[in-house]
Amino acid sequence: MTAGTGAAVRIDVVSIFPTYFDGLTLSLLGKAQSTGILDLSVRDLRDWTSDRHRTVDDTPYGGGAGMVMKPEPWGLALDELTSTTPPHSGERPTIIFPSPAGEVFTQATARDLSTREHLIFGCGRYEGIDERVFEYASSLGEVRLLSLGDYVLNGGEVATMAMIEAIGRLIPGVVGNPESLVEESHEDGLLEYPSYTKPSMWRDRAVPDVLLSGNHKLIATWRRDQQLERTRTRRPDLLDDAS
Ligand code: 6GU
């Protein structure tokens, strides 16, 4: 069944725009689904409505702009999806609500979540989801409100796609060469060093001599220096975090 050790990681996504997630069948994550490493299902929130118009939103108590997602479709969706959490180790599901009001999602978050057996992503739209849903979800699993960064998207779909890609590639067996995961930006708290390929001279621009030297120790030192220099100029906040 699985190509790696242990059972498949299960990821459920609930959204009113399930076709957003068609892209997840491509490339590495698509392969992981066909080899059984990843068990991904995308579900339409409207399937848990019972009125003729399949209504998922209503006006906010207290007034104000926009609409709020009604609690009951979310309650039913979470009941159903958590009732079938794979029982491998008795672990509770992790229920993620992407939200610009959440904690920032980082590589460390991705690493943590890649070790879970069952992730559920609830994609909010409009002005958000009735607050009681988060409280109720806490009775069913570990709830995380996660943001991609300090800007606003129209809903949780694009954020969920980004998070699933970041988490999914850390699941053992998803990325063919695990060495390639180690040398990337953010894995060691620094930005990645620059890369070059043939030709060694392109439009009057040369590849740095050291990379053609064959001296592996010198190359490693140069790459480390490049990482530090780039991080200092582009992302000094990362160096503050490391100290
Ligand atoms: Cl997770 N959701 C929305 N709607 N906007 C965002 C975000 C999430 N992260 C950054 N902006």
Q: Say what the pLDDT of residue 178 is.
A: 82
Q: Say what the pLDDT of residue 2 is.
A: 40
Residue with structure tokens 């064959």? 214
The preferred substitution site among 127, 148, 164 for testing ligand 1, maximizing ligand atoms within 8 Å of CB, is: 148
Q: Is the CB of 149 under 6 A from ligand 1?
A: yes
Q: Say what the pLDDT of residue 126 is.
A: 76
Q: Say what the pLDDT of residue 240 is.
A: 86
Centre of ligand 1 from the C-alpha of residue 4, in Å: 32
Q: What is the DSSP letter of 129?
A: B
The preferred substitution site among 126, 127, 150, 152 for testing ligand 1, maximizing ligand atoms within 8 Å of CB, is: 152
Q: 15 - beta bridge partners?
A: 44
Q: What residues of the chain score a pLDDT lower than 50?
A: 1-4
Phi, psi at 145, each rounded to 5° = -95, 120
Q: Is the CB of 124 under 6 A from ligand 1?
A: no
Q: Is the CB of 114 under 6 A from ligand 1?
A: no
Q: Say what the pLDDT of residue 242 is.
A: 56
The pTM assigned to this predicted structure is: 0.93
Q: Say what the pLDDT of residue 219 is.
A: 98
Q: What is the DSSP letter of 211?
A: G
Q: Say what the pLDDT of residue 88 is.
A: 64
Q: What is the pLDDT of residues 107-121, one digit of tens each?
A: 999 999 999 999 999
Q: How far apart are CA 146 and CA 63, in angstroms?
A: 26
Q: Say what the pLDDT of residue 1 is.
A: 43
Q: What is the pLDDT of residues 24-34, one digit of tens each?
A: 888 889 889 99
- Pairing state between β 38-44 and 57-58: unpaired
Q: How far apart are CA 144 and CA 94, in angstroms?
A: 7
Q: Say what the pLDDT of residue 148 is.
A: 98
